[in-house]
Amino acid sequence: MDGPQHILSVTKLRTNTDMAAFGQFMYFAFGSNLLRQRLKLQNPSAMFCSTARLKDYKLSFGLWNEHVDNKWHGGVATIEFCPGADVWGVIWSMSDENLRSLDNQEGVSKGMYSPLNVSVETDKGPMLCRTYQMNNFHACPPSPQYKQVVCLGAEQNGLPEQYRKSLEWIQTNNYSGPSVLDEIRTAAEEPF
Q: Is the pLDDT of residue 15 over 80?
A: no
Q: Is 28 annotated as a binding residue?
A: yes
Compute φ and ψ for 182, nearest 5 degrees.
Answer: -60, -40
Does the annotation place 32 within a ligand binding site? yes
For 161, the domain range is 7-172
113-122 and 125-134 strand pairing: antiparallel
Asked if residue 108 is part of any domain, the answer here is yes
DSSP 135-147: SSEEE-PPPHHHH
Rounded Cα gap, residues 106 and 71, in angstroms? 12
Q: State the pLDDT confidence band at 5, using cuts at 50, 70 and 90.
A: very low
> Which of 191, 81, 60 has the alpha carbon at shortest distance from 137?
60
Q: Quick check: is 80 in a domain? A: yes
Q: Quick one: average pLDDT of 65-91?
A: 90
The pLDDT value recorded for residue 7 is 41
The answer to whether position 190 is within a domain reads no
Q: Which residues are catalytic?
A: 106
The pLDDT score that the predictor gives to residue 17 is 45
In a domain, 180, yes or no: no
With 90 as the cut, is the pLDDT of residue 180 above it?
A: no
Say whether 57 counts as a known binding-site residue: no
Task: Output the pLDDT for position 71.
Answer: 83
- Amino acid at site 180: V
Output the pLDDT for position 21.
55
The verdict on residue 187 lying in a domain is: no
Instruction: Kindly report the CATH number assigned to the domain that includes residue 60.
Output: 3.10.490.10
- Burial grade of 130 (CB within 10 A; 0-12, 13-18, 19 or more): buried
Which tens digit of pLDDT belongs to each residue from 92-106?
999 999 999 999 999
Decide the pairing of beta strands 7-8 and 125-134: unpaired
pLDDT of residue 19: 54
In a domain, 44, yes or no: yes
* Average confidence score pLDDT of the chain: 88
Query: Percentage of the chain surpassing pLDDT 90?
Result: 75
Q: How many residues can be counted in the chain?
A: 192
Q: Which residues contact 27 (CB under 8 A, 6 or more apart)?
A: 33, 46, 91, 92, 93, 94, 102, 129, 130, 131
User: Which residue from 49, 146, 132, 43 is spatially nearest to 87, judged by alpha carbons?
Assistant: 132
Q: Give the count of domains, the chain.
A: 1
* Residue 27 marked as a ligand binder: yes
What's the DSSP call for residue 164?
A: H
**In Å, how far from its chain's centre is CA 192?**
18
Average of per-residue pLDDT across 145-160: 97
- For residue 1, tell me if it sits in a domain: no
Has residue 2 been placed in a domain? no
Please answer whether residues 15 and 64 qualify as being in contact, where contact means their C-beta atoms are separated by less than 8 angstroms: no
pLDDT at 96: 95
pLDDT higher than 70, residue 50: yes
- In 3D, which of 136, 135, 142, 137 has the Cα closest to residue 74? 142
30 among annotated binding-site residues: yes
Write down the pTM of the prediction: 0.86
